[in-house]
Structure 1
Amino acid sequence: MTSTTTLTAGLPAAYRDVLMRHAREVSFAAGVRLFEEGRRADRFWIVRTGTVALDLQVPGHRAAVIESLGHGELIGWSWHYPPRMWHLGAETTSPVRAWEFDAEAVRALCDEDPEFGRVIAVWVGRVVAQRLHVTRVRLLDLYAPYGSGSR
């Protein structure tokens, strides 16, 4: 599964430019855990190249891969909303190059410029809604007696 909630689809150019001024280029090898469910969410990423799998801990089962994210997609939304704890886990499934953002710095930008803050909140909110939908469908496929019915 691949999300359609990408950076270019979600932010007007002027606000994208403001955000990108705070980006730091990073690289990760395949198999690197970016974050764990339940831990503090203090940063987020936008994928430049490679793939990251989002997973969810399911008691009595191994972690369920919920979604695979690639170029232009936002990795992490939990940084934006209290209590700022990761709701999923994430692991690179190939070498990844990404832009990394300090969550506290971006939240400060949102506080300084309410319109920028509104745009970021709507963008992140769309990602949350899309991830919730994908998570529901994936868990039904994995654990419901008849799946999600989406096939």
Structure 2
Amino acid sequence: MNTPTMLRALPADHRRRLMRLPREVSFPQGTRLFDEGARADRFWILRTGSVELDTQVPGRRTAVIETLGAGELVGWSWLFAPHVWHLGATATTPVRAYAFDATAIRSMCQDDPALGQAVTQWVGEVLAHRLRCARTRLLDLSTPYGAGSAV
């Protein structure tokens, strides 16, 4: 199951309001968008390219959790206090995206409860999907191959 895109998740009037705010940005391949633990003050909707989400695994190298593509949300930590990234992200190809200022979006959501509910529902669904991906990936890294199969 893919993460819900803004196009599928939000009513048209809410999408139109949100899409008045972003600025278009681009990142070359290899650009680090954010690191775990850093301040989450923005998010992106990918237009083109791909971004890998990763997490630090003690005693191991960084583990890639998921690869995101066009239409997908990069970053959810901006919505929930303490507004600190829970994962890291790197552009794995050249990326074009819409960048949103988190403070402006949170303010809009507070001023318009219907918009706030729709955005929270969308980001919550993305968060749930990312947690499932992280769990699966970390289980893959921590168990021997075939450990879950019947003997």
Does the 8 A contact of 2:33 with 2:91 survive in 1? yes
| Counterpart mapping for 1:113-124 below 5 A | 113-124=112-123
Alpha-carbon separation, structure 2, partners of 1:133 and 1:44: 20
Q: TM-score, normalised by structure 2?
A: 0.94
Q: What displacement does 1:149 show?
A: 5.4
Identity of aligned residues (%): 60
Aligned residue for 2:64?
Answer: 65
Q: What displacement does 1:48 show?
A: 0.1
Does the 8 A contact of 2:3 with 2:126 survive in 1? no
- Distance verdict in 2 for CA 1:120–1:148, change over 3 Å: farther
| Counterpart mapping for 1:2-151 below 5 A | 3-146=2-145
Structure 2 regions of 5+ residues with no counterpart?
Answer: none
Does the 8 A contact of 1:138 with 1:148 survive in 2? no
SS at 2:115 equivalent = helix
Q: What displacement does 1:143 show?
A: 1.3
Q: Which runs of 4+ in 1 moved over 2 A?
A: 2-5, 145-150
Alpha-carbon separation, structure 2, partners of 1:138 and 1:121: 25
Alpha-carbon separation, structure 1, partners of 2:59 and 2:9: 37
Alpha-carbon separation, structure 1, partners of 2:71 and 2:101: 18
Alpha-carbon separation, structure 1, partners of 2:133 and 2:105: 26
Does the 8 A contact of 1:67 with 1:134 survive in 2? yes
Q: What displacement does 1:122 show?
A: 0.3
Paired residues in the alignment total 149
Alpha-carbon separation, structure 2, partners of 1:108 and 1:69: 27
RMSD in angstroms over aligned alpha carbons?
1.7
